[in-house]
Amino acid sequence: MKCAFSNELLALYVEGDLPAVDAELTATHLTGCEECRQFLDQLRERQSLLKSLRQETINPSSFAGMRREVLSRICDAQQTFGWAVKIERVLMLGFRRRGYAFAGLAIAAILSVSLLAQMRHALPEPHPSGAVFEGRDTLLRPEGYRQWVFVGASIGRESFHNVYINRPAYREYAKTGTFPEGTVMVREIASSKMKKEPGLDGVYEKEFIALEASVKDSSRFDGGWGFFDFTDNDGKMKAKAQALSDGTGCRSCHEERAETDHVFTQFYPVLRSARAEL
């Protein structure tokens, strides 16, 4: 759907809970927007269904328990669909005040209205921006890292190394020059191949062959950082990886050779330029 008019205003307009100025603004918009009028009709149908039901008193303590359960189930969506949570509160307060709906149908109506708005304006799923652990030192494979900040690429002996940093950590580093707790660096390794076409000399990336990560978490790892390899022995990517032991040499290499807090900033102008702007 293309119209970007506020879903929250439309939902509160149905309830008659808008201030006069906002109500007038919404009414004016509806006169010229067929899409929003159709959406409003769908909301009104659900409200009419609720108000047509016979009244039934709900035990206050039972209602409070049901309300807590509903809120707990949708709390994860508050940031993405904040307006839906506000509508839920309007409906819940309305049920408690008027007592004209069954508790079960109240919950169904809340979810129905929320889902309707979510389908109307499909938003991208939030990308994970940090490390997720299983137990103390087992890291789940980061998702969505290709939409993090691309730090840069380097060419190894027979491979390319593409490096990403999670966005909150990059913003903090650009602001302070320090990698904060929770920093996640991902290195995705791709095989290389020589170009053979006339006039196209050079080397290009062919296939992804390995995935590694490092996480700054002083509460979990000595020295502040943990290092992980998600590549199985057969070359497949694992869903989770345990922190590498010090015997692998990974930690000592980063401690001795990395320019800034276990990170090879000397190889990545994106990070160097961010620090230079301080």
Q: What's the rounded Cα separation, in Å, for the pair 266 and 264?
A: 5
Task: Return the CA Rg of the chain.
Answer: 27
Q: What's the rounded Cα separation, in Å, for the pair 248 and 228?
A: 11
**Look-up: residue for tokens 């904060």?**
180
Query: How many C-beta atoms lie closer than 10 Å to residue 26's C-beta?
Result: 19
Q: Hey, what domains does the chain have and what are their CATH numbers?
A: 7-120 (no CATH), 133-276 (3.50.70.20)
Q: Digits of tens for pLDDT over the chain (278 positions)?
A: 568 777 778 888 887 877 877 788 888 888 888 888 888 888 887 777 666 654 555 566 555 656 555 555 555 444 444 555 455 555 544 544 444 444 555 555 555 555 555 555 544 333 344 789 999 899 999 989 999 999 988 877 778 889 999 999 999 999 999 999 999 999 998 887 777 777 777 777 788 889 999 999 999 998 899 999 999 988 889 999 999 988 788 888 998 998 999 999 888 889 988 876 65
For residue 264, what are its two tokens? 């090879």
* pTM (2 d.p.): 0.52
Q: What's the rounded Cα separation, in Å, for the pair 88 and 107?
A: 9
Contacts of 51 by beta carbon, 8 Å cutoff, 6+ apart: 100
Q: Determine the angle formed by the axes of helices 269-276 and 167-176, rounding to 10 degrees.
A: 40
For residue 153, what are its two tokens? 């690429």
Query: What string of DSSP letters covers 134-179?
Result: ETTTEEEPPSSGGGSEEEEEEE-SSEEEEEEE-HHHHHHHHHHSSP
